[in-house]
Structure formats: structure tokens, C-alpha cells
Amino acid sequence: DTEVTQTPKHLVMGMTNKKSLKCEQHMGHRAMYWYKQKAKKPPELMFVYSYEKLSINESVPSRFSPECPNSSLLNLHLHALQPEDSALYLCASSQVRDQPQHFGDGTRLSIL
């Protein structure tokens, strides 16, 4: 069991759908992250929130929209995705800089 909880575990959606991925942590961590991971590839950083503010956006297409409603929650809103967006989406959190990132189990996303 991981301390970072992601829902749903699996998601299949059409290219015109709107859906959201959710991530929750109750460790009091101040930074939260979204990564995208394709098969046999490393996690690829998408967004970082630090103290609930977006601090890093790695030039991610606008069809991905992050949101941090409070210090424990992180959402990733999806709209008009493309088949190449199919991947494992990982959420992570960390306490402060130079501390471990704790990863959730991920949401496996398939775009039809």
C-alpha cells in the first residue's frame, strides 16, 4: 500500500470526453507532482505544485489542466486527449527539497 492514493486506477476515454484524475496524500507534504510514464520509459515530469501553487509546467499541452484545491489534493483534468496520451499517470509528493518523492500507484489511461 502506498501513502499517495490515486483514483481511478484505470480509465478508458474517448477523444472528446472530459475526465479527471485525482491524487491525495495525508503526509503533510508541501510539494506534489504529476508524471507521465510510457511503457519501458522513465517517468516524465509534467507539473509541480509547491505550497498549492503551480511552480513548474513542463510545456504540457493545454488539454491537460492541473489543479491543487488544497495541500492534500491534486487533480489532473483531461479534455480532448489524443491516442498518444495513453500512458500511466503518476502522482508523487515530497516534504521539502532533498527529500524522497512518494509515488502513488498511478492511473493507467487509455484513449480510444
Tell the smallest beta-carbon distance from residue 5 to another protein (Å).
11
x-or-dash string of contact with another protein, 83-112, rule CB under 8 A: -------x---x--xxxxxxxxxx------
Q: Which residues within the stretch 24-83 sit at the binding site for another protein (CB under 8 A)? A: 31, 33, 40-45, 48, 50, 55-56
C-alpha grid cell, residue 39: 511503457
Q: Which parts of this chain interact with another protein (CB under 8 A)?
A: 2, 31, 33, 40-45, 48, 50, 55-56, 90, 94, 97-106
